[in-house]
A and B are shown apart, each in its own frame.
Chain A
Amino acid sequence: MATKSLKARHDDLALGNKQLEILSGGPFKDGELPYFKDKLAKIGKFPLRPNKLEILQINVGYMCNQVCEHCHVDAGPDRKEIMTKETMFLCLEVIKNTGAHTLDLTGGAPEMNPNFRWFVEEASKLGVKDFIVRSNLTIIRANKKYYDLPQFFKDHNVHVISSMPHYTKGKTDKQRGDGVFDKSIQALKDLNAVGYGMENSPLKLDLVYNPSGAFLPGNQEAMERDFKKALKEDFDISFHNLFAITNLPIARYLDYLIASGNYEDYMYSLVEAYNPSAVANVMCTNTISVSWDGWLYDCDFNQMLGLKVASSVIHIKDYNEDILNNREIIISQHCYGCTAGAGSSCQGSVI
């Protein structure tokens, strides 16, 4: 289990360009596998263009209390990229006027941003229909100052989406670190105790499952059934929906795939599972991703690869939804991760 980010280790794979080079080389360069753009062209979807903006996803910083082996952000305690209050002010202005119905805060562990609570308080006054915070669960039990997060989320009607790699301890700790499972279970109990995830409760608690290894997620409904049954029977824990998310071959997951000798097989699996009907609803067609320093991206993955939007508006200070909606979405071979099987997005399957 790594304890430092790729960046702190000065690993080449911390660089977006290096990752993009790998994603366009190997079996793609050799002509054994088709480039993603050629797959899109076959169904008349190249260049890929946005539909109506629905989700504004803001990454408030890459600092995290965990160093998960599969993390596409390359997040960790050593990452110092944190959104400032000045950039948060710019975000609030945008949230006030956006046509998006969903605000989605992510990280790192968003709660570790020192202005996180202030930002949530301010943003929750602006009438967003669905206000999501992506919480890794363990942060709630990491330190006493976070113990009241469930009540804080409740006070601001936040929709909590949390990562839970598996309903067994072994698999969870292998992917995310020793002790993660027990802490996550306790955090889920804390969330349930204030009403999150309970049947018919308006306090939404969804879980994210992503595979702990070099394989694709199975059927989302079947996984949800298994998770619900196991978490209820073993720990009396309730939640609403399970989102099965495919791991995209970037940052630490790419590093893992290469180091374990699984990279090529994984890319074959993604291409083989390509589903043209998932293309219509891929996340980048209804989302704008904002980085900690205010740059704009088609999605959180492109953010980590350093691929800014192809538009005359590239920073939150110049934000203009009409201009942004006219852009072409930037793609590479990592995009196969969002079109595999039933598709994959931050909200799970797309078909």
Chain B
Amino acid sequence: MADSYYNPADLRKFGKITEWSEELGTKFFDYYGKVFEEGALSAREKSLIALAVSHVVKCPYCIDAYTKDGLEKGITKEEMMEAVHVGAAIESGATLVHGVQMMKKYDKLSM
């Protein structure tokens, strides 16, 4: 066993999850593939969304995968960094909006 929870080379083995549950694995990968096809959103837009979400869920495999995917689609590093900031803004906003709860509780408890 590797002495680390994350090994970059493990991303190549993602498909193997199907071996232990063929039906669910296959359904997942079919769904996954369909999601990223050109649709009402372009494959390029979807790649940037995936990159932003990868950062928010802090998945190192996803970050590797969607940085490479973005390069393949000709997405610039400026576009990629802006997408990461969108994720970060939503994530920090989600924290900060709870500040309202804190303020309300504070006011309620204070004379």
Contact = CB atoms under 8 A, between A and B. Distances in A.
A217 B72 contact: yes
B12 A268 contact: yes
B43 interface: yes
A155 to B, nearest CB: 35
B72 A215 contact: yes
A222 interface: yes
Interface in B11-65: 12, 42-44
**Would you call the interface of chain A mostly helix, strand, loop, or mixed?**
loop
A33 to B, nearest CB: 10
Contact of A222 (B12, B44, B68, B71): B44
Contacts of B42: 222
Contacts of A213: 71
Contacts of B12: 268, 272
Contact of B74 (A170, A223, A272): A223
A215 B47 CA distance: 15
A231 to B, nearest CB: 13
Contacts, number: 28
A222 B43 contact: yes
B44 A215 contact: no
Contacts of A168: 76
Interface in A106-130: none
Given A218-B73, A223-B73, 13 more contacts: A166-B74, A168-B76, A170-B76, A171-B76, A213-B71, A215-B71, A216-B72, A217-B72, A222-B73, A222-B74, A226-B44, A226-B74, A272-B12
Interface in A163-196: 166, 168, 170-171
A217 B68 CA distance: 10
Contacts of A223: 73-74
Top-4 shortest CB links A-B: A218-B72, A218-B73, A215-B71, A215-B72
A268 B73 CA distance: 19
Nearest to A213: B71
A326 to B, nearest CB: 39
B10 to A, nearest CB: 12
28 contacts: A166-B74, A168-B76, A170-B76, A171-B76, A211-B71, A211-B72, A213-B71, A215-B68, A215-B71, A215-B72, A216-B72, A217-B72, A218-B72, A218-B73, A218-B74, A219-B43, A219-B73, A222-B42, A222-B43, A222-B44, A222-B73, A222-B74, A223-B73, A223-B74, A226-B44, A226-B74, A268-B12, A272-B12
A300 B69 CA distance: 28
Which one of B44, B72, B74, B76 has the greatest number of beta carbons of chain A within 10 Å? B74
Most buried by B among A215, A216, A218: A218
